[in-house]
Amino acid sequence: MSNKLEYIGLLLAVTAAFAYANHHLLRLPRNSGLLVIALAVSLCLRLAEQAFPSVGLATFIRDRLEQADLGPLLLNIFLGFLLFAGALNVDVKELAVRKWTILALSTVGVLLSTVTIAAGMFGIFALVNAPVPFSYCLVFGALISPTDPVTVLGVLSRANVPKRLQAVIAGESLFNDGIGIALFAIFVDQATTAGTTSGLVLNGAIEFARQAGGGVLLGLAAGGLAFAAMRGIDEYNVELMISLALVACTYGVAQSIGVSGPVAMVVAGLLMGSIGVKYAVSGTTHDYLQKFWSLTDELLNALLFMLMGLEFAAIEWNGSTLAATALAIPLALVARGFSIAAASLPLHLDRPRKSRAVALLTWSGLRGGIAVALALSLPSSPYREELVTAAYGVAIFTMVVQGLSLGGLAGRLYPPDHE
C-alpha cells in the first residue's frame, strides 16, 4: 500500500509540473496540453534509450508502472468519482428535451460502434499476422467506444455551436461511459472465461440488462437516501461528506452485488445534481459541492491524460502492433460516424443540414480518461499488449489531432452568422 501511495504522490507531482508548464508555455486546453507534454517527455526517453540502451530508461518506467498496478485503482475508484462528478453538473432539463437522441446514441450507438470496431479489428489483427480472438476484439470495441466530453465542451462552448447540440454531446458522453464500461466488464468476463462465440451475444445481452437495470435501481436508491440525509441538515461540511460516502459506498455495493457501478454513479449524480441541489441543499452548500466535484473531475482527468502520455514510453512497439494501431485510427472514426448516423438519423429525418451535426459529433468523439482507465485495467493475457497499444494510439490521435482541430471545424460548420 505504501508503495502505491508513493506512486500516486509522484504522479500528482508530475501532473502539477506538466500543468504548470502547459499554462506558461503551450497554453493548450489543459488535458490536451498535459498529453502533449507527457508524449514529448516519453519520446525523449525513448530516444535516450536508443542512444544509451544500457541505461534502460523506458524499461525503468515500464517496470515502475507495472509495479504500481494502477489499473484496479483507476477502474474501481477513479471512474466512480469521475462519472459522478460529470453527472452532477449536467442540465437534466436539456437532457429531457433531447432524451430520445441521447438514448439512441448512448445505447444503440455504443453497441453499433463496439461491434463495428470489433469486427474491423478482428480483420486488422489477422491482416497484420497478429490474430486476436473476436471475444477480445469485443473488449477493445467496448473500451474505445465511450467518448470524453471534458475537452470537447470547453472548445464548443467558445464556438457558435447550438446549445441543443452541445447538450446532446454532453448527454451522450455521460451515458455512453456507463454503457460502454458495463459492456467492457461483460466482454472481459466472457473473454477470460473462454465462453463460446455462439453464446456470447445472448449471454452478454442478459448480463447487460441485469447489470444496467440493477445499476439504475441502485443509483436511484442510494441517491434518494443521500437526498433525504442532506435535506435534514444544513451543514456543508457534513453534506460534502455525504456526497463522498454516496460515491464510495455505492460503487462498492455495486461491485459486491454484481451490478453496474458506472451506471449507478451516473444515475445518482443526475439525481443529486437536479433534485438534490434544488430541494436538499442551501446555496452555500451547492457552491461548495460544485467547486469540490469540479476540482475532483479536473484532477482525475489530468492524472489520466498525463498517464496516457507517459505510457507511450512503456509500450513495446513492433511492426504488427504499429500497423494494427495505424489502421485502428481510421476504423474508429468510421465506426463513430456510422454508429451516429444509424442510431440518430431516423429520429431527425425532417431536420435540414443533418450532415453538419453528424460530422461534428463524429469528429468530437474524443477518447480520453475512460478509455485510458479501461485499457490500463485489462487483465493479463496473450493479447493485452496489442489491445493496449491500439487503444493508446486511437486515444492519442483523437486528443491531439481531433481535439486541437475541433474548434476550427466547429467554426466552419457553424460560422458566427449561423442561426
Q: What CATH number does residue 387 fall under?
A: 1.20.1530.20
pLDDT surpasses 70 at 281: yes
How many domains does one find in the chain? Answer: 1
Q: Which domain holds residue 285?
A: 2-413
Would you state the pLDDT for residue 201? 60
Question: Could you tell me if residue 58 is inside a domain?
Answer: yes
Give residue 329's pLDDT band: very low, low, confident or very high (50, 70, 90). Answer: very high
Question: Could you tell me if residue 418 is inside a domain?
Answer: no
For residues 303-309, average pLDDT = 80
For residues 225-253, average pLDDT = 91
Question: Could you tell me if residue 345 is inside a domain?
Answer: yes
Give residue 300's pLDDT band: very low, low, confident or very high (50, 70, 90). Answer: confident
Question: Could you tell me if residue 272 is inside a domain?
Answer: yes
Average pLDDT over all residues of the chain: 84
For residues 11-36, average pLDDT = 88
Question: Could you tell me if residue 419 is inside a domain?
Answer: no
Task: Give the residue with greater pLDDT, 282 vs 249.
Answer: 249
* Angle CA 80–84–86, to nearest 5: 120
Q: Which amino acid is at 136?
A: Y
pLDDT surpasses 80 at 144: yes
Give residue 44's pLDDT band: very low, low, confident or very high (50, 70, 90). Answer: confident
Write down how long the chain is.
419
Give residue 351's pLDDT band: very low, low, confident or very high (50, 70, 90). Answer: low
Query: How far from 49 is each of 2, 14, 18, 65, CA to CA, in Å?
Result: 29, 21, 22, 17
Question: Could you tell me if residue 375 is inside a domain?
Answer: yes
110 Cβ neighbours under 8 A, 6+ residues apart: 145, 146, 176, 179, 180, 183, 339
For residues 179-207, average pLDDT = 75
Query: How far from 69 is each of 6, 208, 390, CA to CA, in Å?
Result: 12, 27, 20
Would you state the pLDDT for residue 1? 47
Task: Report which of 267, 343, 272 is spatially closest to residue 100, judged by C-alpha positions.
Answer: 343
Please give the Cα distance from 124 to 229 (Å, whole number).
53
Question: Could you tell me if residue 107 is inside a domain?
Answer: yes
Would you state the pLDDT for residue 109? 92
Place of cell 507531482: 13
pLDDT surpasses 70 at 58: no
pLDDT surpasses 70 at 419: no
pLDDT surpasses 50 at 224: yes
pLDDT surpasses 60 at 349: no
Would you state the pLDDT for residue 387? 92
Give residue 68's pLDDT band: very low, low, confident or very high (50, 70, 90). Answer: low
Please give the Cα distance from 337 to 409 (Å, whole number).
15
Question: Could you tell me if residue 332 is inside a domain?
Answer: yes
pLDDT surpasses 70 at 4: no
Please give the Cα distance from 64 to 406 (Å, whole number).
35
